[in-house]
Amino acid sequence: MADYNLVPVPVHLEEGDGVLPLAGVTVGGPLAELLASELATLIGGDVPVVQEPVVSLAVEDGGEAGSYELAITPGGATVTGADRAGLRYGIFTLAQLARRAGEGWELPAVAIQDAPRFAYRGVMLDTARHFFDVATVKRVIDRAARLKLNVLHLHLTDDQGWRIEIESRPELTRLASGTGVFSDEGGHYTKADFAEIVAYAAANDMVVVPEIDLPGHTHAISLAYPDLMEEPQLLPSVMESVEAYGGDAPINGEPYRGMAVGFSSVRIDHEPTYEFLADVLGDLAEMTPGPWLHIGGDECHGTDKADYVAFINRVTDMVAGLGKTPMLWHEAGAADSLASGAVGQFWDLRSHDADVAEKTRAFPAVGGKVVLSPADAAYLDMKYDADTEIGLVWADGPTSVERSYDWEPGTLVHGLAEDDILGVEAPLWTETVTDLAAIDQLMFPRLASAAEHAWSPAKGAHPSRTWESFADRLGGLAPLWEAQGVGFHRSQEIAWVDA
C-alpha cells in the first residue's frame, strides 16, 4: 500500500485497473458540500458540481458504526457509509487518494472496505495551562476529524485556571479564569461558547468529553472558594519543579502560574465540597450531550490515600446519578467502590509496573472499559528530540514519530483484553503551547500515529501496520496537509513528498 497515502490504513484495499479523472461531484448527495470542499482545498480551486456524477455519495444503514465502502473505477466512484460518520470517513479517504496528473487530478482505481477497530478515537486539548479560543478549538476539531478521530477531550480546569462557565457558581470564572502558565492571560468558555464547540464537534461526528480534574489539580478553585481547599503540599517534587521551570511556590487563594503538579487537593472530609461539586457537575452534565464526564483523579500526591478512595467512590456515584458515565485517569482504579461502568484512562509509560496495571484493570472489573494514552508514545506535548523548541521531556525523554508509533494497544497493559479497551486518545498538555501554530507542530505528525492505533487493525494483523509502511504513507500526506494549512513538524525521520 506504499503507493497510497492513507492514514489511518484501511482494513481492506484491492487495487483495480486504470484511473478516474477528477472532474466533479454529484448533485444533492449527502455531504456533497464536504467532498467538494475537501477536494477544492487540495486542488486549490472550485470543484465543479456536475449533473452526471463522477463521485456519488450515499448512506446505507445496517453496517458497523463508522464503516464505509469506497469503490473507484475509470467510470466513476461511490462512497457508501453505514451512517453519516462512515460516509464522512470515506470522503476523507477519497481526499487522501487524490493525486496530481499533469495539469489535472485523478483517483486510482481501488475498492476499499473499512471500519474502526475501537469505538473511542480521541484527542485531548489542555485549555487550563494555556487558554485557546473557540476558533482555535474548531481548527483542532477539523484536523482531528480528518484522521477519523471522533472524541475531543477538553481539559477545562487545573491549578492554573478554571475555563468553563458554571451558572450556579459564577465566582469560578469571575475570579479563577484570568491566569494560566507564566504570562498567559487566561480566559474561559461561556455556556454559549461551550454549546458552540459541542455543536461544531457534533457536525463533524465528534463527541466532546469535558474534564473537571479532581480532587487534585484544583488550586484555581482556591481563588473563588478558598474554604474548599487544603493548604498546598510543598512536596520535594513540587519545589524541584519550581526550581527547574520557574514561577513561585503555590499559595492558597493566590493565582498559580507555575508548572508543578501534585500539591493541591479539595477538602474531602468537608460537606460543602460535595455541595459545590453537585452544582458544578450538575451544570456541566446539563451542558454536555455526550455520555462521559471526566473527573480526573491523577497526581493527587498531597491527598491522603484513604481520603482519595472515599472521594473517588462518592464522586463517581455522583456522576452516575447525573446520567453520565464517569471517566477518570487510571490512578482512580485504587478506589474500592467505583461506580458501575466507570471508564479509566491509562496514562503511564509503556514500561509501567504491576500496580499501574492492576489499577487499570479495575475499570473492566466494574463493567467499564479503558482508554489508552501511554505518555511516552501518545502524549503530544513531548519534544520530538532534544533540539525541539517547545515541549517537555519528562515522559522518559523525547518522543520521536517512530516512538509514537511503536506500541500496540492490545498488549500495552497485562491482563487487559481487547474487549476491555474502549479506545485510544492522544493528549496535548499545553505548558509550552500558546497558539495554533504550536498545537500543529506538536500534534502533527504524531496524532496520525494515535489515529492509526485507534482505527486500523492490530499490528501483525495487517501487512501495512509497520513503521516502514506508516512512515512512507505519512510522507505522502505532506501536500494535503500543506493545502489544509496544517503546520506539521517536518521530522527528519520521514521522507516528505513535495507538492
DSSP 3-state of 285: helix
Active site residue 299: yes
Q: In terms of C-beta distances under 8 Å and separation of at least 24 residues, what long-range contacts does 66-71 make, across chains too?
A: 66/115, 66/116, 66/148, 66/150, 67/113, 67/114, 67/115, 67/116, 68/93, 68/112, 68/114, 68/115, 69/111, 69/112, 69/113, 69/114, 70/94, 70/110, 70/111, 70/112, 70/114, 71/110, 71/111, 71/112
Q: Where do the CATH 3.30.379.10 domains begin and end in the chain?
A: 12-114
For residue 3, name the pLDDT band (cuts at 50, 70, 90).
low
408-417 burial, b if ≥16 CB within 10 A, otherwise e?
Answer: ebbebbeebe
Report the range of poorest mean pLDDT among 46-60, 207-221, 400-414.
46-60
Q: Region 59-73: what's the mean pLDDT?
A: 96
411: which DSSP letter?
Answer: G
Of 347, 342, 288, 289, nearest to 315 by C-alpha is: 342
Question: Does domain 120-483 sit in CATH 2.40.50.1020?
Answer: no
pLDDT in tens, 148-170: 999 999 999 999 999 999 999 99
User: Quick check: 214 pLDDT over 70?
Assistant: yes
pLDDT of residue 22: 87
Asked if 81 contacts 67 with a C-beta cutoff of 8 angstroms, the reply is yes
- Does the pTM of the predicted model rise above 0.95? yes
What are the two backbone dihedrals, phi and then psi, of residue 480, each rounded to the nearest 5 degrees?
-65, -45
Q: What is the mean pLDDT of residues 111-140?
A: 98
Q: Average pLDDT of 31-56?
A: 86
Which range, of 100-109, 141-150, 196-205, averages the lowest pLDDT?
A: 100-109
The per-residue pLDDT for 350 is 98
24-28, 135-139, 178-182, 356-360: least confidently modelled range: 24-28
Given this model, what pLDDT does residue 191 score?
98
For residue 79, pLDDT beyond 50: yes
Given a cut of 90, whether residue 198 has pLDDT beyond it is yes
pLDDT grade for 52, boundaries at 50, 70 and 90? confident
Cell numbers that stand for 136 in this block: 482555535
pLDDT confidence of 231, banded at 50, 70, 90? very high
pLDDT band, very low/low/confident/very high, at 48 (cuts 50, 70, 90) = confident
- The amino acid that residue 434 corresponds to is T
For CATH 3.20.20.80, the residue range(s) in the chain are 120-483
> What pLDDT is stored for residue 97 in this prediction?
97
In this prediction, residues 453-469 reach a mean pLDDT of 97
- Answer CATH for 12-114 from 1.10.10.10, 3.40.50.2300, 3.30.379.10, 3.40.50.300: 3.30.379.10
C-alpha cell at position 188: 474561559
Q: Which of the residues 69, 211, 299, 431 is marked catalytic? A: 299
What is the C-alpha separation between 380 and 86, in angstroms, rounded? 26
pLDDT number for residue 1: 47
In the predicted structure, residue 247 carries a pLDDT above the cut 80: yes
Question: Residue 372 in contact with residue 412, Cβ under 8 Å?
Answer: yes
